[in-house]
């Protein structure tokens, strides 16, 4: 097999030769003398050689096409191919292999068969059956690249189109494929099935903030019917949604989930198993939500503009883990305004919204020197406050002053019930003398300014005096009196000043003085700054809001459940002993694998990504639960330890059971291949590159590059010159 290649189309070449031949013939018959005719012939030869110099034709000799081009045929053997009825997709594929039309295709190409499912395609093995854990269509393209260097006229993939390797964007890979990808789609459908798919949720949710959970429902054989989908936890139904499936059997259920405590919530969404369903495990989706406190949300209500508010506000605002919303009464009803209201920056106090609507969104409520009755707060709102503490696990702090405790009108209200001290009526006294707080429980986390007992005692010895103290009643049974007045006594002992207790799910603290700002100023006077003051309040807020607040090491997993080929990302936040983000911590991470007693240390993968936040990645190798044990060390040794569990599972093959024709059409469209149904297989719908492009070139012969071409041209020109010179031709 041979060919002539030129730089111009063959038709132009033919026309030029025809014109040259015509011109020569005309001149030939016009000349009568032999030497004239010889001269014409010589001139013709010169022209032809000159033309070849211009066109530079190449003689190409091909190998004879003795062997047919190979077309690889890839058959999906993942588990989803076992589904379908009455004949499974795998059975359809086996029948298709004996199809006459396929045999006719075999006359044109040499068909070579493979099976594939996960990352590797292997030569076809009929006896193995559809057992692949998941489907990765990119395995096909890797095989063509490795074995054929992509030099194939096209390929055929027999599959249901369920590609569930979430790490591979198959359409991005297909764009680089240079040969037609022909898809033969298995069509066997599951006759009856309810499947939950595309579960969407944020694996990290925040306490007291709604998080959205959504799931698609596909009901094969249950079109236009209603399906009940539930959100469950530990077998109990939390929420229930009735979803009407459309004419395609599709629907979506959405849940708004709110957790009122911090920790892991192991949840599931579930649809009922209906009689006749082939696959039952796709009716439920398990997942874990890590409920964290992004920030401690503090609501601070202050009854009078004073230094205490200013200082405490400064502490709370300066702590990046605290989000503060505060209201301070800047003007009382009896105050006079000498300018119009539009010149004042005052806003109405939204007591109704706060107590009846927004209170559950906070973690801590502070009342400082605040008499509720003056601001239209009703006893019902105070009941809501008590509910917030007892049932919702909120924290409550009452700070003293002329309008706090009994003088604030809290006698015989819900607030009196939740306070850890007894209170009197409006006649309750306020002592105006200065005093040093005397610690009764110096090791309590609220007042532990140092972990060392003696050092803590020394630091409290430096604390300046407070000035003024509400003379409340005694501490209630069960309350912890952390600090007392050194001089004033009650019937049962020293006057409680700093008193705490757990009330229901929440915590309450009472501080009978609103002059702790004096600690900051007094410490500054002796050159100690206000760190100890800040630490006292930081610890108080964290104790009141309980949970991980006193832990220096916090951990969250980006996803609580990953697929086998997906990396686990663990985010670890380390705080120093003053609850500041620690950028120089040493983080040790040990993974407990699903196999019993197998551990691996991945500490060297820990990277500081943000201030105080370290990330580690891990790729699970087998399905199961992986426990990540994290230990962090700061400048002063052990900062803390914690752990988190991530579930690795191979999912997808039993979830989405419908053949994915959209994907197959898209792949074929991008690669200019074709799609054919396996039941009505028609090779004419498939597309392949022409065989010629794949035939091998034996050799190419470029005449015009040879030396003898130019020698011949020179000799001919010399002969012509000689004839003309010697014979006197014109």
- Residue 79 or 407 with smaller CB distance to other proteins: 407
Among residues 153, 161, 219, 401, the one that binds other proteins under rule CB under 8 A: 401
The least CB distance from residue 351 to other proteins, in Å, is 14
The least CB distance from residue 140 to other proteins, in Å, is 55
Q: Which two tokens stand for residue 439?
A: 């610690």
On whether the CB atoms of residues 571 and 615 are closer than 8 A, the answer is yes
DSSP 8-state class, residue 274: P
Rule CB under 8 A: is residue 514 a binding residue for other proteins?
yes
For CA atoms 616, 617, 621, 626, give the dihedral sign. Answer: positive
Rule CB under 8 A: is residue 433 a binding residue for other proteins?
yes
On whether the CB atoms of residues 396 and 427 are closer than 8 A, the answer is no
The least CB distance from residue 318 to other proteins, in Å, is 7
> CB atoms < 10 A from the CB of 635, how many?
11
The enclosing H or E element of 622 equals none
Rule CB under 8 A: is residue 718 a binding residue for other proteins?
no
C-alpha distances (whole Å) from 287 to each of 282, 533, 557 are: 14, 43, 13
Rule CB under 8 A: is residue 641 a binding residue for other proteins?
no
- Residue 409 or 634 with smaller CB distance to other proteins: 409
Rule CB under 8 A: is residue 237 a binding residue for other proteins?
no
**Choices 333-341, 476-484, 614-622, 659-667; region in contact with other proteins by CB under 8 A:** 333-341
C-alpha distances (whole Å) from 615 to each of 295, 568, 583 are: 20, 10, 12
Q: Which two tokens stand for residue 531?
A: 């760190």
**Choices 58-66, 108-116, 302-310, 570-578; region in contact with other proteins by CB under 8 A:** 302-310
Give the C-alpha separation, 381 to 389, whole Å: 13
On whether the CB atoms of residues 635 and 576 are closer than 8 A, the answer is yes
Rule CB under 8 A: is residue 408 a binding residue for other proteins?
no
Rule CB under 8 A: is residue 522 a binding residue for other proteins?
yes
The least CB distance from residue 617 to other proteins, in Å, is 36
Site for other proteins in 310-329 (CB under 8 A): 310-311, 313-314, 317-318, 324-326, 328-329
- Residue 289 or 329 with smaller CB distance to other proteins: 329
The least CB distance from residue 79 to other proteins, in Å, is 53
Among residues 524, 619, 712, 729, the one that binds other proteins under rule CB under 8 A: 524
Among residues 47, 261, 307, 349, the one that binds other proteins under rule CB under 8 A: 307
Rule CB under 8 A: is residue 254 a binding residue for other proteins?
no
Give the C-alpha separation, 221 to 189, whole Å: 10
The least CB distance from residue 627 to other proteins, in Å, is 41
Among residues 98, 343, 690, 693, the one that binds other proteins under rule CB under 8 A: 343
For CA atoms 665, 668, 673, 677, give the dihedral sign. Answer: negative
**Choices 285-293, 473-481, 490-498, 510-518; region in contact with other proteins by CB under 8 A:** 510-518
Interhelix angle for 707-727 vs 34-55, to 10°? Answer: 150
Rule CB under 8 A: is residue 578 a binding residue for other proteins?
no
Rule CB under 8 A: is residue 344 a binding residue for other proteins?
yes
The least CB distance from residue 540 to other proteins, in Å, is 18
Enumerate residues 6+ apart whose C-beta is below 8 A from 97.
Answer: 113
Among residues 331, 487, 567, 692, the one that binds other proteins under rule CB under 8 A: 331
> Coil, strand or helix: which one is 273?
coil
β-pairing verdict for 69-76 and 109-116: parallel
**Choices 114-122, 338-346, 645-653, 654-662; region in contact with other proteins by CB under 8 A:** 338-346
Site for other proteins in 116-175 (CB under 8 A): none
- Residue 342 or 662 with smaller CB distance to other proteins: 342
Give the C-alpha separation, 220 to 238, whole Å: 26
Rule CB under 8 A: is residue 305 a binding residue for other proteins?
yes
Which residues are bridge partners to 109 per DSSP? 69
x/- mask, other proteins, residues 353-392, rule CB under 8 A, reads ----------------x-----------------------
Rule CB under 8 A: is residue 529 a binding residue for other proteins?
yes
Rule CB under 8 A: is residue 64 a binding residue for other proteins?
no
The least CB distance from residue 580 to other proteins, in Å, is 14
Rule CB under 8 A: is residue 468 a binding residue for other proteins?
yes
What is the per-residue burial (b if ≥16 Cβ within 10 Å, else e) of 250-276?
Answer: ebebebebebeebebbebbbbbeebee
Among residues 525, 596, 636, 725, the one that binds other proteins under rule CB under 8 A: 525
> Coil, strand or helix: which one is 321?
coil
C-alpha distances (whole Å) from 484 to each of 336, 436, 488, 726 are: 39, 9, 9, 140
**Choices 121-129, 268-276, 442-450, 512-520; region in contact with other proteins by CB under 8 A:** 512-520
Backbone angles phi, psi at 506, to 5 degrees: -110, -175
DSSP 8-state class, residue 358: I
Give the C-alpha separation, 69 to 151, whole Å: 9
Give the C-alpha separation, 162 to 235, whole Å: 31
Rule CB under 8 A: is residue 530 a binding residue for other proteins?
yes
Q: Which two tokens stand for residue 591?
A: 């993974």
Residues that bind other proteins (CB under 8 A): 303-311, 313-314, 317-318, 324-326, 328-332, 335-339, 342-347, 369, 401-402, 432-433, 467-468, 514-515, 517-518, 520-525, 527, 529-530
């Amino acid at each position: 097999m041979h060919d002539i290649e030129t730089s111009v189309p063959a038709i132009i070449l033919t026309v030029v030769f025809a014109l040259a031949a015509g011109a020569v013939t005309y001149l030939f018959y016009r000349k009568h003398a032999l030497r004239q005719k010889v001269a014409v012939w010589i001139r013709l030869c010169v022209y032809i050689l000159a033309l070849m110099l211009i066109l530079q034709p190449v003689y190409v000799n091909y190998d004879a096409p003795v062997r047919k081009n190979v077309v690889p045929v890839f058959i999906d053997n993942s588990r989803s191919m076992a589904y379908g009825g009455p004949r499974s997709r795998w059975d359809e594929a086996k029948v298709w292999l004996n199809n006459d039309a396929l045999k006719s295709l075999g006359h044109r190409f040499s068909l070579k068969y493979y099976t594939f499912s996960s990352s590797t395609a292997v030569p076809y093995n009929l006896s193995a059956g559809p057992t692949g854990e998941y489907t990765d269509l990119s395995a096909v393209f890797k095989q063509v690249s490795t074995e054929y260097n992509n030099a194939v006229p096209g390929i055929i993939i027999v599959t249901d189109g369920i590609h569930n390797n979430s790490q591979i964007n198959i359409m991005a890979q297909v764009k680089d494929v240079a040969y037609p990808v022909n898809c033969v789609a298995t069509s066997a459908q599951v006759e009856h099935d309810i499947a939950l798919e595309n579960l969407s949720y944020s694996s990290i949710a925040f306490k007291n903030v709604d998080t959205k959970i959504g799931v698609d429902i596909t009901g094969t054989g249950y079109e236009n019917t209603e399906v009940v989908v539930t959100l469950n936890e530990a077998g109990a139904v939390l929420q229930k949604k009735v979803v009407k499936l459309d004419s395609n059997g599709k629907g979506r259920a959405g849940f708004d989930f709110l957790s009122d405590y911090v920790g892991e919530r192991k949840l599931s969404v579930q649809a009922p198993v209906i009689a006749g369903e082939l696959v039952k495990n796709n009716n439920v989706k398990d997942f874990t939500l890590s409920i964290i406190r992004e920030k401690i949300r503090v609501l601070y209500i202050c009854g009078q503009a004073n230094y205490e508010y200013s200082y405490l506000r400064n502490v709370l605002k300066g702590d990046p883990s605290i989000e503060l919303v505060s209201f301070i009464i800047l003007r009382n009803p009896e105050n006079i305004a000498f300018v119009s209201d539009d010149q004042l920056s005052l806003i109405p106090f939204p007591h109704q919204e706060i107590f009846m609507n927004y209170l559950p969104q906070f973690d801590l409520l502070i009342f400082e020197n605040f008499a509720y009755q003056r601001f239209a707060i009703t006893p019902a709102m105070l009941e809501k406050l008590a509910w917030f503490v007892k049932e919702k696990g909120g924290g409550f702090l009452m700070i003293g002053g002329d309008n706090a405790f009994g003088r604030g009108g809290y006698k015989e209200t819900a607030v009196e019930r939740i306070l850890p001290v007894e209170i009197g009526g409006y006649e309750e006294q306020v002592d105006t003398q200065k005093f040093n707080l005397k610690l009764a429980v110096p090791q309590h986390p609220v007042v532990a300014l140092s972990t060392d007992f003696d050092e803590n005692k020394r630091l409290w010895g430096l604390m300046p005096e407070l000035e003024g103290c509400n003379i409340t009643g005694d501490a209630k049974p069960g309350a912890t009196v952390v600090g007392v007045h050194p001089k004033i006594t009650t019937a049962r002992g020293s006057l409680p000043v700093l008193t705490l207790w757990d009330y229901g799910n929440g915590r309450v603290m009472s501080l009978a003085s609103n002059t702790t700002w004096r600690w900051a100023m007094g410490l500054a006077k002796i050159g100690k700054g206000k760190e100890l003051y800040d630490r006292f309040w930081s610890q108080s807020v964290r104790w009141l809001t309980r949970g991980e607040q006193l832990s220096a090491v916090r951990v969250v997993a980006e996803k609580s459940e990953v697929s086998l080929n997906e990396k686990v990302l663990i985010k670890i936040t380390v705080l120093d002993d003053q609850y500041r983000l620690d950028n120089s911590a040493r983080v040790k991470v040990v993974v407990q694998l699903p196999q019993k007693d197998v551990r691996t240390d991945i500490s060297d993968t820990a990277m500081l990504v943000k201030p105080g936040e370290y990330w580690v990645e891990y790729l699970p190798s087998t399905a199961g639960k992986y426990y990540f044990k994290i230990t962090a060390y700061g400048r002063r040794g052990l900062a803390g330890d914690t752990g988190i569990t991530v579930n690795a599972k191979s999912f997808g093959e039993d979830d989405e059971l419908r053949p994915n024709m959209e994907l197959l059409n898209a792949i074929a469209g991008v690669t200019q291949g074709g799609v054919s149904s396996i039941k009505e297989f028609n090779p004419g719908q498939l597309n392949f590159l022409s065989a010629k492009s794949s035939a091998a070139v034996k050799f190419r012969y470029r005449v015009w590059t040879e030396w003898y071409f130019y020698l011949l041209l020179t000799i001919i020109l010399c002969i012509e010159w000689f004839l003309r010179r010697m014979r006197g031709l014109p």
